[in-house]
Amino acid sequence: MALNGSLVVRRSAANDIRMSLDLFHSRLGNQQFNHYPMKLPTSGTCDFIDTLRTNYKETLAQIENMPGKGECPVTPRTIYVRDLVFPTDVYPP
């Protein structure tokens, strides 16, 4: 599975803004998406990013303009994900 896209942060975001992540896939490539059983818990923006950094350090190193660990609040920026191959060991087959 490869990920592409961008996330635009228009204003500073701290832990008062809640984030979560759900993954969906189209196994047959027919645009009929199913929910992956993997989910990250909802948490404040800074805590959410720090959790991602702790659990997926190598993967996040490939994301351009990602906030650093402990950077809070997250300042306005555009975060780019380009042809990122998602690690297969973090989701069920």
Domain count along the chain:
1
**Residue closest to 21 by CA, chosen among 2, 7, 32:** 7
> Between residues 44 and 27, which one has the greater pLDDT?
44
Percentage, residues of the chain above pLDDT 70: 90
Three-class DSSP labels, 18-87: EEEEEEEECCCCCCCCEEEEEEEEEEEHHHHHHHHHHHCHHHHCCCECCCCCCCCCECCEEEEEEEEECC
Q: The domain containing residue 72 runs over which residues?
A: 2-90
Dihedral sign for Cα 15, 18, 19, 22, please: positive
The answer to whether the CB of 38 falls within 8 A of the CB of 20 is: no
Predicted confidence (pLDDT) per residue in 41-86, tens digit? 899 999 999 988 888 888 888 899 999 888 999 999 999 999 888 7
